[in-house]
A and B are shown apart, each in its own frame.
Chain A
Amino acid sequence: MDMIRKGRVWKFGDDISTDYLSPSFTLDEPWEVTKKKVLHIHDVFTRECREGDIIVAGENFGCGSSRESAAVNLKRLGIGCVVADSIARIFFRNCMAVGFPVMICKGITEAVAEGEILEVDFESSAIINQTQSKKLTGGRLHPDLLNILKSGGILESLNQ
């Protein structure tokens, strides 16, 4: 997996729950239907997000249910990564488990505006706001978690 993610930023607030990332009313739907409802609380995100875009969010991103589809949906949409002030525990686990990179960085919401270009390096934890030429440092992932991410998820690490 590519450990450096670069893309255009979409901003979200605090407490973005799994009921928004993977609504119950999409659980039995085909992907073509589901993908239009991921983060349905945002006016234009579902219509306009592009491969490689990055989500920057506030506190407690991914709170709520243990449904892994919350992480999988972002991965399938092609979102490069999530950087948030804080990330809810089960969602964090699930992102590692499915090989979707997320980083915790206190203060990220204040440091980044929607539409700016961000480069996030998961090896070094460096976050570069290319639009503002500003550098931040996020929380470092434990080497074992980095390995899980690199291999593409926890079950891939099982096969190694």
Chain B
Amino acid sequence: MSMTIAEKVLARASGKPEVKPGEFITAEIDTLMVADMSFYDSFVLLEEKGHAKIWDPDRVVVIMDHQYPAQNAVQAEKHRKIRKWVKQQGIRHFYDGGVGICHQVMVEKGHVLPGHLIPGGDSHTTTYGALAAASCGIGHSDIAYVMATGSLWFMVPGTIKFVLNGVLPTGTSAKDIILKIAGDYLVNVAQYKSVEFTGPVASALSIDDRMTICNMGVEIGAKFAMFPCDEKTIDYLEKRTKDSINPIQSDTGAVYEKVYEIDFSTLEPQVACPHNVDNVKPVTEVEGIAVQQAFIGSCTNARVEDLERAASILKGRQTHPETRLIVIPASREVYLNVSESGVLQTLLEAGAMLCPPTCGPCGGLNNGILANGESAIASTNRNFKGRMGNPESSIYLASPETVAASAVEGKITDPRKYL
């Protein structure tokens, strides 16, 4: 039988020749990703249940990024316990604070392989679909179950396909593509589905850009969000892993529940307005709205190319005196790259302030909570009321280019005028 990528992964992981959408299976997990908060909570549960022995410590990756560096003694104490457990359990793949945001680290350090089933303790685990992995967020009881058994139940999802046609216009990038899809097809278009992105625009996108799109797959409801494995995937991975690479693709004749053909040749920069990710408008319709904070960071849009694009706009310019610009590169590797290339200097000269490579203010956890009545424009993934720590504030989501241009003018600004 012809299968989609998701069906192939779940069939292999459940030891079956084939699976069909709607089927309920128990699958063996290839790798489990856990970030600081989810590791702490799940390990406490495991201890309570008397199961504090991880099924295979080499297949668990622990990354400190959400509440890091500790903001208070409670968090610091949690970190201390996490380090103790990691040692106790013999977990080799432990990345303490400073290495980067979990999803970036997973990909950079070669923990993500095409065709692997990788649940993770964070909703944006869908990011690894950029390398054709079947990855999705789970909560901490499910994590505890995986840590104890190495397996988990899954419902086989139907697959939908977005065919990205045309050529991406100057001044637009991956974020604009996924925001346009969210705006036009709404936030539950992919609910409980596996999504595949194909077509000429998809093929032309870099792995960084594919990560942005897969990252926000969860914002349109997706269980998995994937690009098929191609030359770019293999090139990227050969530098990062010695493991053999399965060039996984959907079979010809695989069944899609729906196929959306979209032409992006006339795409404009997009902005998701408060307080929902599908409240999307072209930047030209929202220009002029004042923003007190601009944030380029998060697992969505803080990779090398994102920072280069922001720097190309900020070069020789200054941020607006009434707008603070926070930049958080996604990892130490990204930091090193942009510090060598001079991009970091450009950002600093323009007035950006830099924070350690963690989640930062994206989830309202640290480094940039908003005041009552303030608005932020951010390269992040969610703009729900209170997301950045204060329900009396507003969040606009946009590409790093649009965030950079808006930081210069102190109001939402079309980045194309600076290119």
Q: Which residues of A line the B interface, CB within 8 A?
A: 15, 17, 19-20, 23-25, 27-28, 40-41, 59-60, 63-68, 71, 86, 88-90, 92-94, 97-98, 142, 144-145, 153-155, 158-159
Q: Which residues of chain B come closer than 8 Å to A28, judged between CB atoms?
A: 72, 74-75
Set B144, B188, B382: member contacting A155, Cβ < 8 A: B144
Would B41 and A68 count as touching, CB distance under 8 A? yes
Set B38, B72, B144, B384: member contacting A19, Cβ < 8 A: B384
Set B72, B139, B144: member contacting A94, Cβ < 8 A: B139
Interface residues of B in 62-92 (CB under 8 A from A): 72, 74-75
Does residue B203 face the partner (Cβ distance < 8 Å to A)? no
Q: Which residues of chain A come closer than 8 Å to B363, judged between CB atoms?
A: 24, 65
Would B24 and A142 count as touching, CB distance under 8 A? yes
Would A24 and B387 count as touching, CB distance under 8 A? yes
Query: Can you list 29 A-B contacts (CB < 8 A)?
Result: A19-B384, A19-B387, A20-B385, A23-B391, A24-B365, A24-B387, A25-B390, A28-B74, A41-B385, A41-B391, A60-B187, A63-B221, A64-B123, A66-B38, A66-B123, A66-B138, A67-B139, A90-B136, A90-B218, A94-B139, A98-B139, A144-B153, A145-B24, A153-B141, A155-B45, A155-B49, A155-B144, A158-B49, A158-B148
Does residue B389 face the partner (Cβ distance < 8 Å to A)? yes
Does residue B274 face the partner (Cβ distance < 8 Å to A)? no
Would A66 and B139 count as touching, CB distance under 8 A? yes
Would A65 and B221 count as touching, CB distance under 8 A? no
Chain A residue nearest in CB terms to B223: A89
Q: Which residues of chain B come closer than 8 Å to A19, judged between CB atoms?
A: 364, 382, 384-387
Does residue B192 face the partner (Cβ distance < 8 Å to A)? yes
Would A40 and B72 count as touching, CB distance under 8 A? no
Q: Which residues of chain B come closer than 8 Å to A88, judged between CB atoms?
A: 188, 191, 221
Q: Which residues of chain B come closer than 8 Å to A93, judged between CB atoms?
A: 138-139, 142
